[in-house]
Structure 1
Amino acid sequence: MSDRALEGLDDRQLEAVTTLRGPVAVLAGAGTGKTRVITHRIAHGVDTGAYSPGRVMAVTFTAKAAGEMRGRLRALGVEGVAARTFHAAALAQLNYFWPTVAGDSAPAIVDNKVRLLAHAADGMGIEPDTATLRDVASEIEWRKVTMRSIEQYAAARPNGVGRLDVSRVADLQRAYEKLKDQRRQLDFEDVLLACAGMLEAEPHVAASVHEQYRHFTVDEFQDVSPLQHRLLELWRGDRRDICVVGDASQTIYSFAGADARFLLEFASTHEDARVVRLETNYRSDAAILAVANELMRGRPGALELTAAGGGDGAVVPADPPIVTAYEDDVAEARGVAGGVAARIAAGVDPRTIAILYRAHAQSAELVRALADQGIAATVLGGKRFFDLPEVRQALMELRAASVAPIETGFVDTVRDILRSRGLTDEPPQAGGALRDAWEARAALLRLAEEAPEGTTLRGFTDELQARARAQHEPAMRTVTLATLHAAKGLEWDHVHLLGVAEGLLPISYATTFEQVDEERRLAYVGITRAGRVLSLSWSRGLRDRQPSRFLREIGTGTLRAGGARASSGAGSLRAGSANATGGAAGSARPR
């Protein structure tokens, strides 16, 4: 038996990893080594003989996370575990069992819900705009993942969508379902519904799944919807070996049907459940964690995060969190860009810097301000790296070159091909398509230069294709811009949270207690992305915005240490200078 899976774990991580039987809930705060615990627990189960890899189902929410999980398991010597998203697992079962159950191949998957809705609307003689159709698509998704009929949906959401009243929205949904059935198609939510229905209606299908999978692990359990929870229960049957991992403070998809109650009530709904709390944070400086803890204090399921020690020597204190107020959005963008420029000039790698905000519209001024400073930026949420035209073209040429003998080293060959496609020694001016393409090609070259000794061109192209399948994208040497939702699961040494003002964070349409609480959790996610340096800002703008209530809730006890001072009248928190930041050595890194 190997002890490899037990190496390098702290006491709480070790407790979680070695608890292999029965229902287990791992309450894992931000930066506490959640994925490490999940993969080491599965590996330890396989090492001890408690688990057979083919009998383990590990479910997560994104293909990227599933790919990372499989990669980490391979590194621990474990192959054959079904690490998939809910949809991928359900679709695989549908495709496998459907011919036996229905005597035909499984229906096709709708590739564009909005387009199908447009065709349904045309059949009704109405012409909603694209934005309305997108919102109706979201309503359909919410209705299905919360397991409501169209009639129940209309009662739960009586306000309609855009200019369509609720009866018209309901009629459009019925037309959509009818057209979809006529075309013999399923949408993504139907995949889960159909899989659940098949398991409920066909005992031999349920028996086969129960025989195949005996041990279950679910990541990001706070984001499970009622439909996903129902499907999980059908997969599990009467099996007791289920481990759920999550953090109620990072529930940011309630609007899409996620329900944190499944995590919060796990111990009371599963007899003899073991609950393990991971609260030692290996990502962030203690001052950053103090801000995060204050923001979530007293909220349901909130964990008290503490910073891990340096371990290998004294840790140089990072900059304390700082808040800066500006007169308008342009001044805020320029001030933040100036601070980023100062950091880069001081030697900070642009890849370790991120600027986060609530809505995509806030990025426009930032992109311009950064370009004025000569700083290249990547906006998350655009095309995936391996789908970029310049990357696809380079991969085709590299693949073609790999079948012929080469006279030079493979790195030289990669460099020559990329130069023929436009890679130069000096980058183009920041802020345009040419610079974006240059950064992508430069990232490919860095991957080649960092490849292990002995790598061949064929091996390198195989590795690139594997990375593309797993969505394991290289980091371009740019500053990252991202919404708070897109930043979930990521981390940077230096994080700036933009627009921490009423109307932006919390956003203006968050009016109920539950909606504001979700905005609070979004702010928490943004704060806990920071490793070494956290800064926040807000601006009054033309509408005389006020500082976010979240700043007041956090208070001056954790933010004043960064040089913030209360301004007169508004009760805001201000820093004395937009550029009151500097380079700093970091705290303990993630494990």
Structure 2
Amino acid sequence: MKDSDQITAGLNEEQKEAVTAPRQNILVLAGAGTGKTRVLVSRIAYLVERCGVDANRILAVTFTNKAAREMRDRLALILGEHSSRRLWAYTFHTASSHILRNFAAEAGLTRNFTIIDTADQLSVVKKVMEELKLPAEVWVNNVKYNARNYLQKIMDEKARGNRPGMEGESILPSFYDVYAQYQNRCDKSDQADFEELILRTCELIENQPRVRQYIRMKFQEILVDEFQDTNSLQYRWLKLISGAENLDPEKKPANVLIVGDDDQSIYGWRGAAAENMFYFQKEFAPVKMIKLVQNYRSTKAILSNANSLIKNNTRHLAEKNLITHNPDATMVKLLESYDNNDEAEEIAKTIRKLVDNLGRDPSDIAVLYRTNAQSRLIEKELVAYGIEYNIYGGARFYDREEVKNALAYLRLIINPEDNISFSRIVNVPSRKIGKVTLSKIEALHHEFGVSMFRAAEMYVTKNKSRPLKDFIALIKGFAARLEEIPGKSEDIAAFLKSVITDSGLRDYYQEKTAKEEADRSIDRTGNLDELISDIANRDYLEVEDQGIEAQGMAEPESDEEDDADNSDNKYSLRDFIQIYLASAALMPSSELLKSEENHAVNLMTIHCSKGLEFGAVIIAGFEQGLLPLERYSSFEKEDERLEEERRLAYVAITRAKELLFLSYAQTRMSYYGTYNTGASSFVEELDHNCLDTDLDFLDA
């Protein structure tokens, strides 16, 4: 057992207080760069080593898969591999998917349910709108809405905990009919979207006392990172998981520690509510608050500007002023340009000097911007100056056509009720299954209320369609092999390779790649190989969480002998594939950063930069109309919108460790013409004692 001094070594007094506090509800108000991840990891280690809490009874909730992996990796170094493997360290969505899979019957699902991503959700909405004879584009009050707007509204309703019919009004015509039909299609296909994972978990715990009892016995300590980014549904989820909802008054709730910073709340547009931190103080009372203000990331000049800016917001959970002992460096620099073309060139020239004259690694440089549209001119100039770059938060690897099709095969093999995957791959590669045949299958699907795959099986019993029979046999053959192949993680890559080859996907994309030879950026077979490599190297720690239901709702045991037998062969190949498919669906594009591998400059929106840090940061378009974004001026509660924009600028500034450039143009050209902009009003709120325009240091 490690001494508590070993666990807290190197921590400052406030961090130590958070790590060693008695087991209770705690709110850690952690400013940017104050070492919150280290505090979370050390707190978990302290609970295990000094308080005797079984790691299997601890739930650590993060907002990104990357953060969860980092937490487990750090804990493995402190506690060892055994304890770190027992810890539940997941995102809200991943933790929910594990709970639902373990209690699938009670949740109205099967263990084989699939998670659908945004693209698949959109295809369902479009089909529903067609069936309801709604036009693809709907005009309301001279504003155009389409399937994406309907989908966003559905997700908004779920994020508020609303089912079809629970709320009665929407400006979108027939919205609740679309919502009801959308959900009906997902339920029949044994599928869940992102918000459904959390909402259905909440309903499961609320409606199933035995499940609620198990969850309460399972988790004694819960830690939540980035709490300011939680929405109302996630807050409800936490209350239910912890027992704070008080549905079983005789049972003691779990202890909950939340970490957050209301000054970094930048996702209000998607439902995040920093107010949840206020609610937590009240509804989880008594709550101990601990503030972390010592910043380990940035220079004094950068922090002085950040503090000066954010103090202009009026809504704060508690006052805090970030401090640092980092040595002084250069001032924060203002870059002024005539227009956005000049700005893009100035940014490229600055990066060229940072690399050539100051020896900066390109991967340690980031260009941040408020809107994606700003990147086009910057990319053009980076190419002109011979600077490699990667766009962080761009298209997902898993959304590429060939990758999505390969995953659709796996999804249909696992879950034959998956109508989206059936429709996607039944003719990929082409099997010459005609539209007439597919329409008849669709008719059987609707008439008998069965899946498209089952409808296809019904069709071939009375109709001659050799290609369709072969496709059905192919899928069923792969499904049978899942039961034959021993459940070892290394077998999953071989299985996927076989699926890609035997289905004809590899040959199909080799031919397609040859036809697209003029576009060297497309390497479809290479992407399939990358997918095989990805599935082989995936961390399958979660497989150990797949069998908790087997304990028959009894109190979770802490059996060392049982844990020692947690070898791969206890699990089926199906278990591993389910985990991989879930992780692929839940992996956002904002986590796919590869610039460190090829020494390229990072380009991203400010929202995507949250949680990252770079030696040198250039904020492009630090000007009126962009930051704060002009369109917000038409909204009600403009002061609240302005405060969120100020928090966004604060987040951007605090991504910088040593060098920070604020770039703006006097005029900006767009599709609608040229208009005057100039420096952002936020510039006036900065610390002008730590701000200048001198760039001579770049020519050193």
TM over 0.5: yes
The CA deviation at 1:147 is 2.2
Q: Does 1:532 align with 2:658?
A: yes
Q: Secondary structure at the match of 1:191?
A: helix
Alignment of 1:187-198 (within 5 A): 187-198=193-204
Distance 1:487 1:302, change over 3 A: farther
Partner of 2:389: 377
Partner of 1:261: 275
- TM-score, normalised by the number of residues in structure 1: 0.77
Alignment of 1:62-461 (within 5 A): 62-77=64-79, 78-79=83-84, 80-99=86-105, 105=111, 107-111=113-117, 112-128=120-136, 132-149=146-163, 155=169, 160=171, 166-237=172-243, 238-297=252-311, 298-301=314-317, 304-310=320-326, 315=327, 317-346=328-357, 347-383=359-395
Q: Deviations over 1:423-448 (max 9, x none)?
A: xxxxxxxxx987999xx99xx9xxxx
Q: Secondary structure at the match of 1:306?
A: coil
The CA deviation at 1:14 is 0.5
Q: Deviations over 1:140-187 (max 9, x none)?
A: 2122112235566565xx5x4xxxxx3344443333233334434332
The CA deviation at 1:320 is 0.7
Larger CA deviation: 212-221 vs 467-476: 467-476
Letter paired with 1:367: E
CA contact (8 A) 2:387 2:600 kept: yes
Q: Does 1:521 align with 2:657?
A: no
Partner of 2:631: 509
The CA deviation at 1:259 is 1.1
Letter paired with 1:9: L
CA contact (8 A) 2:228 2:260 kept: yes
Alignment of 1:27-42 (within 5 A): 27-42=29-44
Distance 1:380 1:26, change over 3 A: same
Q: Which of 540, 548, 569 does residue 680 from structure 2 map onto?
A: 548
Distance 1:354 1:215, change over 3 A: same
The CA deviation at 1:53 is 0.2
- Which runs of 5 or more structure 1 residues have no equivalent in the other structure? 161-165, 392-398, 404-431, 445-459, 564-574, 585-591
- TM-score, normalised by the number of residues in structure 2: 0.66
Count of aligned pairs between the two proteins: 501
CA contact (8 A) 1:321 1:559 kept: no
CA–CA distance in 1 between the matches of 2:166 and 2:664?
41
The CA deviation at 1:134 is 2.2
CA–CA distance in 1 between the matches of 2:219 and 2:642?
39
Letter paired with 1:329: N
The CA deviation at 1:383 is 4.7
Q: State the Cα RMSD in Å.
A: 3.4
CA–CA distance in 1 between the matches of 2:278 and 2:699?
39
Distance 1:492 1:49, change over 3 A: same
CA–CA distance in 1 between the matches of 2:136 and 2:640?
30
CA–CA distance in 2 between the matches of 1:20 and 1:388?
49
CA contact (8 A) 2:62 2:90 kept: yes
CA–CA distance in 2 between the matches of 1:241 and 1:389?
45
Distance 1:381 1:18, change over 3 A: same
Q: Does 1:55 align with 2:61?
A: no
Q: Secondary structure at the match of 2:632?
A: coil
Q: Secondary structure at the match of 1:301?
A: coil
CA–CA distance in 2 between the matches of 1:103 and 1:360?
38
Q: Deviations over 1:378-409 (max 9, x none)?
A: 11012568999999xxxxxxx99xx9xxxxxx
CA–CA distance in 2 between the matches of 1:303 and 1:25?
14
The CA deviation at 1:23 is 0.4
The CA deviation at 1:342 is 0.9
Larger CA deviation: 96-105 vs 477-486: 96-105
Q: Which of 688, 691, 694 does residue 562 from structure 1 map onto?
A: 691
CA–CA distance in 2 between the matches of 1:181 and 1:390?
27
CA contact (8 A) 1:121 1:175 kept: no
**Whose Rg is larger?**
2
Distance 1:170 1:553, change over 3 A: farther
Distance 1:324 1:102, change over 3 A: closer
Partner of 1:427: none
Letter paired with 2:338: E
CA contact (8 A) 1:108 1:184 kept: yes
Distance 1:560 1:104, change over 3 A: closer
CA–CA distance in 2 between the matches of 1:141 and 1:385?
23
- Which runs of 5 or more structure 2 residues have no equivalent in the other structure? 138-143, 244-251, 404-489, 495-517, 541-579, 669-673
